[in-house]
């Protein structure tokens, strides 16, 4: 299982976002993780459609849009038009999950479903036959730079088993507090897409950091075989 890195730009140098994106391209990031927050679903406001649209004009990186908003269904089309390739919404939002998945697919995107730390793995199971990605939040959504919640590792394991049993190709993503220490833990539990934010941008050499995370992940996976 190949591990992908989705770079979260929430805590990047926003004044020089174009340079940041080009650096991520050169360093071989697999995806660009774009955190959308509305100040209601989470206690923070980040960026939205116009910013994604501008970024789409300067990069062909795969755009992984994480909607932490109250009514994701209302905005699916706008984010798809702005260049999203994958749109992930929260099961705890107010939108109907089936209608939201349908709208994401109708807009030509892959659909992801995410759960906050307090929501059990079982809540996702009814949607495994319809989504292309499951996102396990390993921090409370809202802010970058928080510590990985170790209790979430079990949730990742449960969902890895359920995904394998489904026989479908579904990515299993973790988001929050991923660094050199926690990447092998999450990968060993079965995550194959690591969202990495503040840890990545704290390092001098982004490429070496991503390569390092991938090799730690590969070792952790081997150890589990």
**If binding is defined by CB under 6 A, does position 70 make contact with ligand DX5?**
no
Distance, CA of 203 to CA of 181 (rounded, Å)? 14
β-pair partners for 89:
113
Which of 30, 38, 64, 175 is flagged as catalytic?
Answer: 175
How many residues sit close enough to ligand DX5 to count as binding (CB under 6 A)? 22
Listed in sequence order, the residues at least 6 apart from 155 whose beta carbon sits closer than 8 Å to its beta carbon are 115, 120, 121, 136
Stretch touching ligand DX5 by CB under 6 A, among 93-101, 117-125, 180-188, 197-205 = 197-205
63 touches, from ligand DX5, Zn ion, none (C-beta below 5 to 8 Å by class): none
Burial state string for 82-98 with b = 16 or more CB within 10 A and e = fewer than 16: bbbbbbbbbbbbebebe
Site membership for ligand DX5, residue 184 (CB under 6 A): no
Residue spans of alpha helices (H) in 74-188: 76-81, 97-106, 152-166, 183-188
Active site residue 151: no
The item of Zn ion, ligand DX5, none sharing an interface with residue 139, based on CB under 5 to 8 Å by kind, is ligand DX5
Smallest distance from ligand DX5 to CB 186, Å: 12
Q: Could you tell me the two tokens for 222? A: 């081997």
Residues near ligand DX5 (CB under 6 A) are: 8, 10-11, 33, 35, 66, 139, 141-146, 175-178, 195-199
């Amino acid at each position: 299982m190949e591990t992908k890195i989705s770079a979260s730009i929430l805590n990047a140098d926003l004044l020089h976002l174009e340079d940041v994106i080009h650096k991520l391209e050169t360093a071989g990031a697999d995806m660009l993780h774009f955190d959308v927050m509305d100040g209601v679903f989470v206690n923070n406001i980040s960026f939205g459609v116009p910013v994604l649209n501008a970024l789409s004009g300067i990069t062909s990186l795969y755009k992984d849009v994480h909607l932490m908003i109250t009514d994701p269904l209302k905005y699916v089309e706008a984010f798809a038009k702005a260049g999203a390739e994958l749109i992930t919404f929260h099961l705890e939002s107010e939108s109907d999950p089936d209608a939201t998945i349908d709208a994401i697919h109708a807009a030509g995107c892959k659909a992801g479903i995410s759960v906050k730390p307090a929501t059990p793995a079982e809540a996702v199971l009814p949607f495994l036959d319809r989504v292309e990605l499951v996102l396990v939040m390993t921090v409370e959504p809202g802010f970058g730079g928080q510590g990985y919640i170790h209790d979430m590792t079990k949730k990742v394991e449960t969902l890895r088993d359920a995904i394998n049993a489904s026989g479908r190709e579904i990515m299993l993503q973790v988001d929050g507090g991923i660094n050199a220490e926690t990447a092998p833990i999450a990968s060993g539990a079965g995550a194959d897409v690591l969202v990495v934010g503040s840890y990545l941008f704290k390092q001098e050499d982004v490429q070496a950091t991503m390569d390092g995370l991938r090799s730690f992940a590969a070792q952790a996976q081997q150890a589990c075989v």
